[in-house]
Amino acid sequence: MNTSISLETKIGQLLMFGFNGTKVTPFLRQCIREHNLGGVIHFSRNISGLQQLADLNCELQELTEESPSKTPLFIAADQEGGTIARLTKGVAIAPSAMALGATKSETITEKVCAVSALELRATGINMNLAPVLDINNNPDNPAIGVRSFGEDPRDVARLGAAAMRGYQKHVAAVAKHFPGHGDTALDSHYEMPVISHNRERLEQVELLPFREAIAAGVTGIMTSHVVFPAIEPKEGLPATLSHEVLAKLLRRELGFQGLIMTDCMEMKAITDTFGTVEAAIMAIQAGADLVIISHSEKLQEQAFQALVAAVKSGRISETRIDEAVARVIKAKERL
DSSP 95-144: PPHHHHHHHT-HHHHHHHHHHHHHHHHHTT--EE---B------TT-SSS
How confident is the chain (335 residues) per 10-residue block, as mean pLDDT? 78 98 98 97 96 98 96 96 87 91 97 97 97 84 80 95 97 95 76 88 93 97 95 95 97 97 95 96 98 98 98 97 97 92
C-alpha to C-alpha distance for 82 and 92, rounded to whole angstroms = 11
**How far from chain centre, in Å, is Cα 113?**
17
170 is catalytic: no
> What's the pLDDT at 1?
47
User: Nearest-5° angle of CA 49, CA 51, CA 54?
Assistant: 110
C-alpha to C-alpha distance for 166 and 107, rounded to whole angstroms = 9
134 is catalytic: no
Minimal CA–CA distance to 141: which of 198, 203, 193? 193
Q: Please count the helices (runs of H) and the strands (runs of E) in the chain.
A: 13, 8
Minimal CA–CA distance to 160: which of 103, 101, 239, 111? 101
Number of Cα atoms under 13 Å in the Cβ half of residue 144: 28
Residue 93 is given by DSSP the state: P
Quick one: which H or E segment has residue 215?
helix 208-215
C-alpha to C-alpha distance for 159 and 133, rounded to whole angstroms = 9
Buried b (16+ CB within 10 A) or exposed e, 14-29: bbbbbbeeeebeeebb
C-alpha to C-alpha distance for 279 and 285, rounded to whole angstroms = 10
> What's the pLDDT at 146?
86
**Three-state secondary structure call for residue 73:** coil
**Three-state secondary structure call for residue 174:** strand
> What's the pLDDT at 188?
79
> Catalytic residue among 263, 272, 289, 295, which?
263
> Catalytic residue among 55, 189, 197, 243, which?
189
Torsion of CA 166, 168, 174, 180, to 10 degrees: 40
C-alpha to C-alpha distance for 313 and 253, rounded to whole angstroms = 31
Residues 165, 116 contacting (CB under 8 angstroms): no
Q: Is the dihedral of CA 131, 137, 139, 143 positive or negative?
A: negative
